[in-house]
Amino acid sequence: DVAFVIDGWALEIALKYYRKAFTELAILSRTAICCRVTPSQKAQLLSIVNAKHMKAPCGAKLIRVGVLEILVELLKSCDYRTLAIGDGGNDVRMIQQADIGVGISGREGLQAARAADYSIGKFRFLKRLILVHGRYSYNRTAFLSQYSFYKSLLICFIQIFFSFVSGVSGTSLFNSVSLMAYNVFYTSIPVLVSVLDKDLSEKTVMQHPQILYYCQAGRLLNPTTFAGWFGRALFHAIVVFVITIHSYAFEKSELEEVSMVALSGCVWLQVFVVTLETNSFTKLQHLAIWGNLVVFYMINWIVSALPRSGMYTIMFRLCRQPSYWNTMFLIVAAGMGPVLALKYFRYTYRSSKINILQQAERLGGPILSLGNIEPQTRALDNDLAPLSISQSKNGRNSVFEPLLSDSPNAVRRSFGPGATFDFFQSQPKSSTYSRNKDN
Amino acid sequence: MKLSLKLEDQQQNQNPILFKAKIPIAVFGLPFLSAFSATHHHAAAASDKLSLSLRTHFPTGPSLKLSYNTPTTTANSGAGKMDTSPKPKSKSKKPKYSRFTQQELPAWKPILTPGWVIASFVAVAILFIPAGLLCLSASERVVEIVDRYDDECLPDSYSNKGDSFIQSKDTNKTCVRTMKVPRKMTAPVFIYYQLDNFYQNHRRYVKSRSDKQLRDRSYADETRDCKPEDNLDGDENEPIIPCGLVAWSLFNDTYKLSKGNKVLDINKKDIAWKSDTEIKFGSDVYPKNFQKGELIGGGELDETKPLSEQEDLIVWMRTAALPNFRKLYGKIYSDLEANETITIVIQNNYNTYEFGGEKRVVLSTMSWLGGKNDFFGIAFLTIGGICLFMAINFILLYVCKPRPLGDPSYLSWNRNPNGL
């Protein structure tokens, strides 16, 4: 656990003479605090750094942004994920340079906020941004992307299997209307509402910020999880295909009917897969998931009522046959049974940390934790003194204008020559997970 | 009688009174008490007030009060706006609160507890095992006689030359077969012909038809997809109706059944889907130029009957999804007793020898599930059994190796608080 504090002069010397060693130090340390650099020091940096972004010779204005931008670029070149936060116009370039730029819209205007990927109102909101919203966003994105692959793979695999029984001639089991409607109507609505999904409540996350480790560095979206979804698509395709062609064999074997049975099986499986993967069900989610099933049948009834369509009366015939519903039950049970069993087994006997917290939270009771870094009342103390990349107008170290006038830390000027900034790092592809910045 | 004067310096929330005075006065010789007060708000959202009141000395009694309110301008007009409403507010940039945008919608958050999971597996097992037994029993009750005849109906002189047997016009295609009824078959008994290794689901085959032409007389020339069976000898003005390979390959074996001496009537009406006979195949479309080319693919059609009455064609044109399929030939509306011998006279017209296909004739009764299909019963029983097995496993695991849910001591940072 290494942290270093460096001020402007030292930073300049380090970058000039000891760049490699300094880079290594930066990589090894958890926290870095770089103090304010005054313009006079920066004037000399121009000669050192002949980076591409330092074009104009008329120096001072550009040099002002140079130092931190250089640092960001340094870290990025070492495959770090960098986050830069700033509030003023001179932070814009640093914010744009970093992987994640956060701008604070505040007293120094909206320039940084406009250039940033995320803009917040106060520095202390950064914690919520990363811990709460960033985490939720990562979960939801991971689910959405893998689910989209899954539902398309399901259809593709079924078509491939069908080609084995159709003389490998390229007959499509599903007609074009069904395929188009599958992607647009039958499977897109449930995931649109996955934007409301929360695996852990905010309170739990705030109490256990260490959980962020388990949501970073590709924990939820990596080749292994993708292989899991791929395998699930393959397994479900096998289930749907085998059950359909054996249930609808011999005298029931008719291309349109078999096609509709297979498609119904797919849609039913989707519904249950989404249900199993959703962590919190609001009314909207219930409506989207079950309503989606209703919409599927209604659309097909409507198409089945058109005499000119190839699907005329297909759905009506099917819904009257007991073997259709038997097939649906079989497909759902055979498809979801192993998935549910596996998920339950891993949830109970090989729980991930998220699962443990989920269980603790839902079963009620306070979650006591030894390593509790952040009891709620002290939350504000962790906000550091307001950051400022630029120097104040008069450039004196002792006095500076806090960025946020109503920051509770405004009085803590004793923290020394004011400008501080933190940057977040995550380690690329190594076995230990990223260092979570809490303090 | 007293005069009192009160000056307040402290700002209080409710009514910051600047100054209040009570003065006894006499009106028409009667003693009254008058009060005069002024309030002033420094903060926003209040008004200044001057009031004058007149009341009696009695503890309770009427009083008269005159007051004058003025709206004030705030001392630090940070919003920079002066409004004349009684309670001015500063402009707030806070977005309007709604439970949806703040993601605070009430949610049901289920977790996988052992109770629920084991219960659902047991429920599935309880539902599926009886259902499987039911389906098996339904399939058992169906009586089915299957007889493969394409190899038997080929004379020995033509063995291995089945295609030339069919294509030659001189050979006798009649074939007599006998079948024994194993159990009583109650009417209606369905007669199917089963083809194996016939790929009605091949892409070029499936495409080779024209639904428009089948439906409507005026679309007789719509033969675009039907190549090579689109028109007669390449003459554009002589389209084949119905065009396409599907119709061209019409199955044309015929069966005549008899029981002892009695001929069994085969009802060939209503064997096709009603929607097909009513809509898909027009009642004013007549076959034309059909099977007149060099290559004969199957049966011929009666040119005097409209397509909507050609039920064999309609049944054949419902393309099958798999290479082994059965299509309805006809129905018998009389019972067949057990151990009876049924004689079938088959006209072995259809050429499956060319591609190694197989032909069978099937007599079958129907149940609520359809024909004889053990798959449902077996599948239900298998899945029910597996679910029961899983439920028992989970119960054993739960009993032998209990693991309390949500135990924070399993969190790695609690086990090892110093390192992470």
Is A214 inside a domain boundary?
A: yes
Please tell me which residue of chain B has the smallest CA distance to A213. Answer: B420
d(CA A101, CA A118): 6
For the ranges A310-314, A426-430, B368-372, the lowest mean pLDDT is seen at A426-430
Is the CB of A310 less than 8 angstroms away from the CB of B211? yes
A283 → chain B, closest CA residue: B107
- A187 and A101, same structural domain? no
- Using the beta-carbon criterion (under 8 Å), do B410 and A330 form an inter-chain contact? no
ipTM field:
0.75
User: Taking CA atoms, what residue in B is nearest to A316?
Assistant: B275
Number of domains in chain A: 2
pLDDT digits (tens, 9 = 90+) for A329-354: 999 999 999 999 999 888 887 777 77
Same domain, A137 and A85: no
Q: Is the pLDDT of residue A299 over 60?
A: yes
B387 at interface of A, judged by CB pairs closer than 8 A? yes
Task: Give the per-residue pLDDT at A394.
Answer: 34
Q: Give the residue from A91, A125, A159 where a domain finishes.
A: A125
Angle, CA A62 vertex, CA A58 and CA A64 arms, to 5° = 125
Residue of A nearest to B127 (CA): A329
Q: Establish if A404 belongs to a structural domain.
A: no
Let me know if residue A427 belongs to a domain: no
For position B6, what pLDDT does the model report? Answer: 64
Contact A253 B320 (CB under 8 A): yes
Asked, for residue A307, whether it belongs to a domain, the answer is yes
- pLDDT tens, position by position, A78-131: 666 778 888 777 777 778 878 888 888 877 678 888 888 888 888 888 888 888
**Is A141 in the same domain as A186?**
yes
Q: Which two tokens stand for residue A160?
A: 């491939």
User: Do A229 and A184 belong together in one domain?
Assistant: yes
Q: Choose the mutation target among B94, B103, B133 for the interface with A, i.e. most A CBs under 10 Å.
A: B103
Q: Do B408 and A358 touch (CB under 8 A)?
A: no
Boundary residue ending a domain (A313, A334, A362): A362
CA–CA distance, A62 with B88 (Å, rounded to integer) = 45
Strand A31-34 and strand A3-6: pairing?
Answer: parallel
**In A, residues 125-154, which contact B (CB 8 Å cutoff)?**
none
Are A82 and A164 in a shared domain?
Answer: no
Q: Is B367 on the interface with A (CB under 8 A)?
A: no
Chain A CB contacts of B405 below 8 Å: 348, 359-360, 363
According to the 3-state scheme, what is the secondary structure of chain B? CCCEEEECCCCCCCCCEEEEEEEEEEECCEEEEEEEEEECCCCCCCEEEEEEEEECCCCCCCEEEEEEEEECCCCCCCCCCCCCCCCCCCCCCCCCCCCCCCCCCCCECCCCCHHHHHHHHHHHHHHHHHHHHHHHHHHHHCCEEEEECCCCCCCHHHCCCHHHHHHCCCCCCEEEEEEECCCCECCCEEEEEEEECCCCCCHHHHHCCCHHHHHCHHHCCCCHHHCCCCEHHHCCCCECECCCHHHHCCCCCEEEEEECCEEECCECCCCCCHHHHHHHCCCCCCCECCCCCCCCCCCCCCCCCCHHHCHHHHHHHCCCCCCCEEEEEEEECCCECCCCEEEEEEECCCCCCCCCCEEEEEEECCECCECCCCHHHHHHHHHHHHHHHHHHHHHHHHHHCCCCCCCHHHCHHHHCCCCC
Burial of B64 (0-12, 13-18, 19+ CB in 10 A): exposed
| A166 contact B CB<8A | yes
Of A362, A384, A403, the position where a domain reaches its end is: A362
- Closest by CA to A143, choosing from A184, A199, A98, is A199
Nearest CA in chain A to B195: A250
The Cα of A411 is separated from the nearest Cα of chain B by a number of Å equal to 23
Residues in CB range of A157: below 8 A, 6 or more apart:
A233, A234, A237, A238, A241
| Whether residues A352 and A241 fall in one domain | yes
CB B330 within 8 A of CB A266: no
The whole-number mean pLDDT for each consecutive block of 10 residues of chain B, a chain of 420 residues, reads 61 61 74 76 60 78 77 42 47 77 80 87 94 93 92 85 85 90 91 94 91 87 82 80 90 91 90 89 88 85 90 93 94 91 92 91 92 92 94 90 69 59
d(CA B92, CA B86): 18
A381 in a domain, yes or no? no
- Give residue A381's pLDDT: 33
What is the four-CA torsion angle of B115, A275, B390, A353, rounded to 10 degrees?
-70
Q: What CATH number does the domain containing A121 carry?
A: 3.40.50.1000
Q: Which residue has the tokens 């001189």?
A: B170
In 3D space, the residue among B274, B265, B407 whose CA is nearest the CA of residue B330 turns out to be B265
DSSP string across A265-326: HHHHHHHHHHHHH-S-B-HHHHHHHHHHHHHHHHHHHHHHT-TTSTTTTHHHHHHT-HHHHH
Size of interface A-B (CB pairs under 8 A): 201
Interchain CB distance below 8 Å, B406 and A360: yes
pLDDT greater than 50 at residue A430: no
What would the two tokens of residue A240 be? 């749907």
Averaged confidence pLDDT in chain A:
74
Q: Are residues A175 and A104 in the same domain?
A: no
State if pTM tops 0.90: no
Contact B352, B310 (CB under 8 A): no
Same-domain pairing of A224 and A150: yes
DSSP 8-class letter at A422: -
**A108 within domain boundaries:** yes
Q: Are A103 and A244 members of one domain? A: no
Q: Residue B206 and residue A255: Cβ atoms within 8 Å?
A: yes
pLDDT digits (tens, 9 = 90+) for A366-416: 555 444 333 333 333 333 333 333 233 333 333 333 333 333 433 333 333
In a shared domain, residues A99 and A111: yes
On whether any CB of chain B is under 8 Å from the CB of A322, the answer is yes
Q: Is residue A375 part of a domain?
A: no
Question: Which whole-number Å values give the CA distances from A45 to A192, A283, A396, B219, B256, in the listed order?
Answer: 50, 58, 20, 83, 103
Same domain as A103, residue A80: yes
Comparing CA positions, the residue from A379, A381, A389, A394 lying closest to residue A423 is A389
- Quick check: is A395 in a domain? no
The residue that leads in pLDDT, A316 or A190, is A316
Domain of residue A350 covers 126-362
Residues A209 and A156 occupy one common structural domain: yes
Q: Any CB–CB contact under 8 A between A353 and chain B? A: yes
